[in-house]
Amino acid sequence: MTTSIKPVRVSGQLFWSNWMGEFNTKFNEDNKKFECSIGMLSDAAAKALEELNIKIKNKPEQGKFIVGKSMYKFEPVDEEGNPVDIKSIGNGTKCVALVSSYKHKMSAAHGYAPSIKKIIITELVKYNSDKELSEEEDEYIL
């Protein structure tokens, strides 16, 4: 059922990185997969991924993006190959990823699924929960 395709290297930014190391059960309590969202993909990166039959999503806050899902935790590394703690990765962290695709039972309707083979952090934006809280509070200031 699965047909793997030769991977391509793309650069982008990571979003919602905490789901790379824990299940996102916010919308589906039965979710048993880890997720990696890579956004702010360039037109060239999006084109290369489309050539792998991956449908590119688009949101203003993430630009062109993909979401890779896996039954195994993602293991990001720095440029020297050292592990990077997922909990330290904030939105907008720049990365280079090795991405391939595979065919699945819903490919006809949704395209092939992205398979993120490797994530290299090139510019870490430290996750800061205090910043997120203060930004939320700012919206209530009149």
pLDDT at 77: 98
What one-character-per-residue DSSP string does the chain give?
---B---EEEEEEEESGGGGTS---SS-TT---EEEEEE---HHHHHHHHTTTBPPEEETTTEEEEEEEESS----EETTS-B--GGGBPTTEEEEEEEEEE--TTHHHH-BEEEEEEEEEEE--B--HHHHHHHHHHTT--
Tens of pLDDT, residue by residue over 31-50, are 899 999 999 999 999 999 99
Give the Cα separation of 97 and 33 in Å (integer). 19
Q: Spell out, as residue ranges, where the chain has pLDDT lower than 50.
A: 1-2, 133-134, 136
For the chain, which domains are there?
A: 8-138 (2.40.50)
